[in-house]
Structures are given as structure tokens and as C-alpha cells.
């Protein structure tokens, strides 16, 4: 077992010694390699979207276990949960008035769970909430997302208000995890269940992004045209990519910590 781990430690040590630009380049290469791998082993790329939702559900299950069994919300950002509830509520509204499908049901379940988490943090476990560390100003993301939605939204035949709401929830979802990352950066130490939850979000974001990228490649770009015209199709794809890269650095340190056998994740300065 130790012999098998030595090459991993050697590679990890080599990567750690590289400058930030080289690490970023290696991350992009690893992401592209993962996309190529998924393209060949997953024949129906819609399954990637289902897998993303499944991984997200696993992450929420870990969160529920933490709150019910550990009886603490230490390390969790209430503001990230508020943003998640907001974009889910807007997306549910859009689903009901624009295109009701199975994803509406899944969003309903996720919203209900998120509201329960918010309730637990605000009332039941308030004494363990790190309010002083959860200091990300959410209007820094809500206002820009709203303005961007006003400027760039779908060019479909739906009501203009509904189209703006649709764009708003897409943009807000991409940055909803920022308060959670800020809280973890402030504490520097991330306990296991919170780390598992955020890593699950990162994996779900990557699978969702892979779904869109591979769909665009398979349709030779026709999917972008099907989404509408103007900047909107490109913004949808960009939002997926942004979500993935926001969590990429954290996922790197998570895997590194896991390989090293550390139960508690320690983040260096400047990770998020």
C-alpha cells in the first residue's frame, strides 16, 4: 500500500513546488483530459447531468447528517444557503411558467432541504454559527447578477420578466458558493463534513459543465443556437465553466488532504 502511495506523494510534492501559473495550466490540462475520458465512456451525455444532480444530493445528505447528528453548523455559510434558496426559488418559478419537467420536482426537493438547513442554522443551531467569519457581502453578487440578467437574457418568445428571471438564476447559481469559500478561507481549517459537502458541490459542478461542453461538441455548436441568439448562449456555457473553476482550487486541496490521510482540511492563504 505504501509503495502504491509513493508515486502519488511524489507527484503531489512536485505539483506543490510549481508556481501558480504552472498549477493553473496543469489544472486546465487535467480538466480537458477528464472531459475526453468522459466523452468516450459516457455515451449518453444527458447521464452526466443526472450524475451531477445525484452527487449534489449526496452532498446535501452529508450536510443533513452534520446538522442532525453532530448538532453543529460550524463551518457552514448561512449566506451561501440563502443564495442557494434564492436561485432555486427563481428557477422553480421559471420551470412552472416556462417548461415544467422532472427537474422542477428535483429543484423543489432541493429547495425544501435548503430551507430546512437555513432554519437549523438560524434557530436550532444558532450558537455554533460562525457569524463573524461569514462576512461575505451578498449584494456584491446579487446586484451584479441582476444587472447582468437585465442586459443579457434568453431571446425566446417567453415573457420578458420570465426570461430575465431565468438568466438571473443561471448567473446567481454560478457564484452562490462564494460566501462558503470565504468563510472557509477565514477559518483556514475545514472540518470533514463541510469539506465533503463542498467537494460534492465541486464534482457536481464539473459534471454539469462537462454535460454542456460535450453537448456543444456533439452538436458541433448547434446547441448554442438552440438556446437562443446574441450573447445568451455563450453566457450559459460561461456560467457553467465559472462554477467549475471557482471550486477547482478547493477540490485540489481536498484531494491532496485525502491522499495524505488528513481528516481535517487546512487551507493555505489565497486559495479562495
Q: DSSP readout, 39-82?
A: HHH-SSTHHHHHHHHHHHHHHHHHHHHIIIII---TT--HHHHH
pLDDT tens per residue, range 43-99: 665 677 778 878 888 888 888 999 999 899 999 999 999 999 999 999 989 888 877
Judge if 14 and 75 occupy the same domain: no
Determine, yes or no, domain membership for 230: yes
Determine, yes or no, domain membership for 272: no
Judge if 151 and 259 occupy the same domain: yes
Judge if 36 and 147 occupy the same domain: no
Judge if 32 and 48 occupy the same domain: no
**Residue of 252, 172, 266 whose CA lies nearest to 11:** 252
Judge if 100 and 31 occupy the same domain: no
* pTM, rounded to two decimals: 0.81
Judge if 70 and 4 occupy the same domain: no
Give the domain extent around 12: 1-41
What total of structural domains would you count in the chain?
2
pLDDT tens per residue, range 200-259: 988 888 888 887 777 777 776 666 665 666 678 788 888 888 888 888 878 877 877 776
Judge if 24 and 50 occupy the same domain: no
Judge if 153 and 207 occupy the same domain: yes
Determine, yes or no, domain membership for 271: no
Judge if 29 and 92 occupy the same domain: no
| Whole-number Å distance between alpha carbons of 177 and 210 | 19
Determine, yes or no, domain membership for 224: yes
Judge if 56 and 37 occupy the same domain: no
Judge if 141 and 111 occupy the same domain: yes
pLDDT tens per residue, range 132-177: 999 999 999 999 999 999 999 888 777 899 999 999 999 999 999 9
pLDDT tens per residue, range 6-54: 665 566 566 666 565 555 555 555 656 665 666 666 666 567 777 887 8
Amino acid at each position: 500500500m505504501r509503495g502504491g502511495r509513493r508515486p502519488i506523494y511524489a507527484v503531489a510534492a512536485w505539483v506543490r513546488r510549481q508556481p501558480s501559473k504552472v498549477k493553473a495550466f496543469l489544472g486546465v490540462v487535467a480538466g480537458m483530459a477528464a472531459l475526453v475520458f468522459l466523452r468516450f465512456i459516457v455515451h449518453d451525455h444527458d447521464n452526466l447531468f443526472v450524475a451531477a444532480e445525484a452527487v449534489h444530493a449526496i452532498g446535501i445528505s452529508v450536510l443533513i447528517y452534520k446538522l442532525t447528528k453532530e448538532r453543529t453548523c460550524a463551518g457552514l455559510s448561512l449566506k451561501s444557503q440563502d443564495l442557494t434558496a434564492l436561485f432555486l426559488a427563481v428557477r422553480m418559478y421559471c420551470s412552472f411558467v416556462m417548461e415544467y419537467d422532472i427537474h422542477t420536482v428535483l429543484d423543489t426537493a432541493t429547495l425544501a432541504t435548503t430551507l430546512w438547513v437555513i432554519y437549523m442554522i438560524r434557530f436550532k443551531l444558532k450558537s455554533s454559527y460562525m457569524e463573524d467569519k461569514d462576512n461575505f457581502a451578498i449584494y456584491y453578487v446579487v446586484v451584479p447578477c441582476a444587472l447582468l440578467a437585465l442586459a443579457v437574457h434568453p431571446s425566446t418568445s417567453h415573457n420578458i420578466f420570465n426570461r430575465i428571471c431565468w438568466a438571473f438564476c443561471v448567473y446567481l447559481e454560478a457564484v452562490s458558493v462564494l460566501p462558503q469559500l470565504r468563510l472557509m478561507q477565514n477559518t483556514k481549517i475545514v472540518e470533514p463534513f463541510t469539506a465533503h459537502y463542498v467537494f460534492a458541490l465541486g464534482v457536481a459542478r464539473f459534471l454539469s459543465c462537462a454535460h454542456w461542453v460535450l453537448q456543444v461538441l456533439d452538436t458541433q455548436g448547434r446547441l448554442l443556437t438552440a438556446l437562443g441568439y446574441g450573447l445568451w448562449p455563450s453566457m450559459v456555457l460561461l456560467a457553467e465553466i465559472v462554477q467549475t473553476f471557482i471550486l477547482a482550487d478547493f477540490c485540489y486541496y481536498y484531494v491532496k488532504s485525502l491522499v495524505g490521510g488528513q481528516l481535517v482540511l487546512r487551507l493555505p492563504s489565497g486559495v479562495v
